[in-house]
Amino acid sequence: MFGGSSPIIVLNQNTKRESGRKVQFGNIKAGKSIADIIQTCLGPRSMLKMLMDPMGGIVMTNDGNAILREITVQHPAAKSIIEVARTQDEEVGDGTTSVIVLTGEVLNVASPFLGEQMHPTVIISAFRRALDDILEIMKAKIGVPVDVNNDGELLKIIKSCIGTKFMKQWSELACKMALTATKIVLVEEKGKKEIDLKNFAKVEKIPGGCIEDSCVLQGILLNKDVTHPKMKRKIENPRILLLDCSLEYKKGESQTNIEITAEDDFAKVLRLEEEYIQEICNDIIAVKPDLVITEKGVSDLAQHFLIKAGISCIRRVRKTDNNRIARASGATIVNRTEEIKEEDVGTACGLFEIKKIGDEYFTYLIDCKNPKACTIVLRGASKDILNEVDRNLQDALNVTRNVIQEPVLVPGGGATEMALAHALNEKAKSIVTVHQWPYRAIAKALEIIPSTLIQNCGASTIRTLTALRAKHAQPNSTSWGIDGETGEVVDMKQYGIWEPCAVRAQTFKTAIETAILLLRIDDIVSGVKKAESEGGASRPPPPDAQPNE
């Protein structure tokens, strides 16, 4: 009886394995299809994608993260690969296209081993070992330290990042803006460098003018005007007071009812309101500010008292903008007017001025002493151009931040990937177990970056890649890569094309770890109950891997 039942058990196990392999091949196909969409967006000769959102808006870009944000996919593995681009963008802000292309290729090279019935855990183990060796080799043999105090060197590095973008014809301007903004925001505390670009380097896009008119302000720019036309619109060395409270009569916290019995009771209530507003205005006037900026509203009566005292006022400023003004002007944001002290007033701003650009009014708080917060003003012909310039500038800012925080560089143009591929192939000779073949597969996957650069500029892929392999087989040749403009094999040291080590390391970690994660999945189970079943999880039909652009 036992002998009769055992073949059924074996059959069930084989069926489960077969089902698991189908899921893994489906995941690989999904990853490859996402990578194929993005592949033409790598390098200086990259193509743009035109994306149409549900509202009818159009975006034209070659930024991997921006493209994948707009794509709708059904396959769960494809969705997780799109998340990879978002992770890369949040961590280091660059290399989003590379990470997707590399993830797709790592999954692709794993496919033959699954077809040969090699267990996924063996493949994963080899991939992990390869990743550890990649990070070690990159820092020990390929990485080159850089002097962050040398602006010329830093500008070359930022230029190599901008070189593949729409903004490359204005690369000199963009690089200088990125470097200036990053150095303004840089704060050193206890030997640690903190560069908070997201909160303290605001990009203000103003349609009109030329891209050459763009600049970095030593201070803050707000799309605001003073609350009353009689208030001053230009003040030199202003005393700035920042508030987080409204200059209006305080309304009841919950529903408030007032019962009026006598005729003069209403007049008494109005008088109380006036007295309250006069009191909070007197608290402000006591410290003699020239400019009051509040996050809340300002009543007409409060404006009247402030005009009489010669104080300009700006209301309903965003919390983030108020924080930037506080950091630039040296002011402290006050929550209650009765708590205002002399030291809360900011005096580090050199000029307050309101200018009209087109139909809009803009408040300039500039010429600040050691501001630690800035505004990058972008000018351009249209909103589409400004949005693309903004995306490119964010990449440049992030590259600058990465280099200043971790001053180690690696050669660009696919040189790092080719050097690592050669080093892994050499190291694989010492591995005697079956792990050797998946380990070598990672070396092959790394070659997709130089291979894509060659393809995108229309050169002969096989011949150029063979020449590049031959170069890297020679000693001390780790800096040879692909010229993205011509597709020729060149020395990146002479070309001055470098990338931050942090970006490359994050690219390899994210790509290989995502591939490992997807290879470990052997089933996709839906938590949605089927209408005909009584309960329990159901397995959905294999989703379509093709994304809908």
Instruction: Report the pLDDT value the prediction gives residue 527, as an integer from 0 to 100.
Output: 59
Q: Contact at 8 Å (CB) between 114 and 21?
A: yes
- Reply yes or no on whether 225 is catalytic: no
Answer with the residue of higher pLDDT: 309 or 28. 309
Residue 237 has pLDDT above 90, yes or no: yes
Q: How far apart are CA 82 and CA 84, in angstroms?
A: 5
| Amino acid type, 521 | I
Asked which of 50-59, 381-390, 496-505 is least confident by mean pLDDT, the reply is 50-59
- Reply yes or no on whether 416 is catalytic: no
Q: How far apart are CA 206 and CA 204, in angstroms?
A: 6
Class of domain 219-250+268-370: alpha beta
Distance (Å) of CA 536 to CA 23, 525, 527, 532: 20, 10, 8, 11
Pairing of strands 234-236, 220-222: unpaired
Answer with the residue of higher pLDDT: 3 or 45. 45
Residue 354 has pLDDT above 90, yes or no: yes
Instruction: Report the pLDDT value the prediction gives residue 328, as an integer from 0 to 100.
Output: 92
Set 395, 416, 464, 510: catalytic member: 395
Burial of 522 (0-12, 13-18, 19+ CB in 10 A): middle
HEC profile of 308-333: HCCCEEECCCCHHHHHHHHHHHCCCE
Distance (Å) of CA 47 to CA 71, 72, 460, 462: 17, 21, 18, 22
Instruction: Report the pLDDT value the prediction gives residue 15, as an integer from 0 to 100.
Output: 61
Q: Contact at 8 Å (CB) between 244 and 294?
A: yes
Percent share of the chain, pLDDT over 90: 31
Q: Contact at 8 Å (CB) between 245 and 294?
A: yes
Q: Per 3-state DSSP, what percentage of the chain is helix, strand, and coil (rounded to 5)? A: 50, 15, 30
Among candidate residues 281, 290, 304, 287, the one with its CA nearest the CA of residue 352: 290
Residue 482 has pLDDT above 80, yes or no: yes
Instruction: Report the pLDDT value the prediction gives residue 216, as an integer from 0 to 100.
Output: 92
Residue 352 has pLDDT above 60, yes or no: yes
Residue 435 has pLDDT above 50, yes or no: yes
Question: What mean pLDDT do residues 75-87 have?
Answer: 83
Answer with the residue of higher pLDDT: 123 or 495. 123
Give the CATH H-level superfamily of domain 15-145+411-527.
GroEL-like equatorial domain (1.10.560.10)
Pairing of strands 291-294, 240-243: parallel
141 DSSP 8-state letter: I
Element (H, E) at 292: strand 291-294
Set 40, 96, 337, 510: catalytic member: 96
- DSSP-derived 3-state class of residue 87: helix
In this prediction, residue 270 has a pLDDT band, given cuts at 50, 70 and 90, of confident
pLDDT digits 0-9 by tens, 8-22: 434 455 565 666 777
Asked which of 24-33, 113-122, 410-419, 540-549 is least confident by mean pLDDT, the reply is 540-549
pLDDT digits 0-9 by tens, 134-154: 999 988 888 888 888 888 878
CATH of range 148-207+388-406; options 3.30.260.10, 2.30.38.10, 3.40.50.720, 3.40.50.300: 3.30.260.10
At 51, list the tokens. Answer: 């994306």
- Reply yes or no on whether 63 is catalytic: yes
Residue 345 has pLDDT above 90, yes or no: yes
Instruction: Report the pLDDT value the prediction gives residue 148, as an integer from 0 to 100.
Output: 80
Residue 127 has pLDDT above 90, yes or no: yes
Q: Which of 67-81, 117-131, 533-547 has the highest mean pLDDT?
A: 117-131
Quick check: do 148-207+388-406 and 219-250+268-370 share a fold? no
CA atoms within 13 A on the CB side of 183: 15
pLDDT digits 0-9 by tens, 157-215: 788 767 667 777 788 888 889 899 999 998 887 778 888 888 899 999 998 888 888 89
Average pLDDT taken over every residue of the chain: 84
Instruction: Report the pLDDT value the prediction gives residue 540, as an integer from 0 to 100.
Output: 54
Q: How far apart are CA 431 and CA 414, in angstroms?
A: 26
What does the chain come to in residues?
A: 549
Set 40, 97, 182, 510: catalytic member: 97
Residue 313 has pLDDT above 90, yes or no: yes
Set 40, 61, 63, 483: catalytic member: 63
Number of Cβ within 10 Å of residue 247's Cβ equals 24
User: Using CA atoms in the order 267, 272, 276, 281, what is the torsion angle rounded to 10 degrees?
Assistant: 30
Residue 77 has pLDDT above 90, yes or no: no
Answer with the residue of higher pLDDT: 445 or 405. 445
Beta bridge partners of 318: none
At 372, list the tokens. Answer: 């630690």
- Reply yes or no on whether 395 is catalytic: yes
- DSSP-derived 3-state class of residue 257: coil
Calculate ∠ Cα 214-218-224, nearest 5°. Answer: 75
Question: Model-level pTM?
Answer: 0.70
Instruction: Report the pLDDT value the prediction gives residue 152, as an integer from 0 to 100.
Output: 81
At 536, list the tokens. Answer: 């329990």
Q: Contact at 8 Å (CB) between 503 and 35?
A: no
- Domain ranges across the chain: 15-145+411-527, 148-207+388-406, 219-250+268-370
Instruction: Report the pLDDT value the prediction gives residue 220, as an integer from 0 to 100.
Output: 92
Instruction: Report the pLDDT value the prediction gives residue 545, as an integer from 0 to 100.
Output: 47
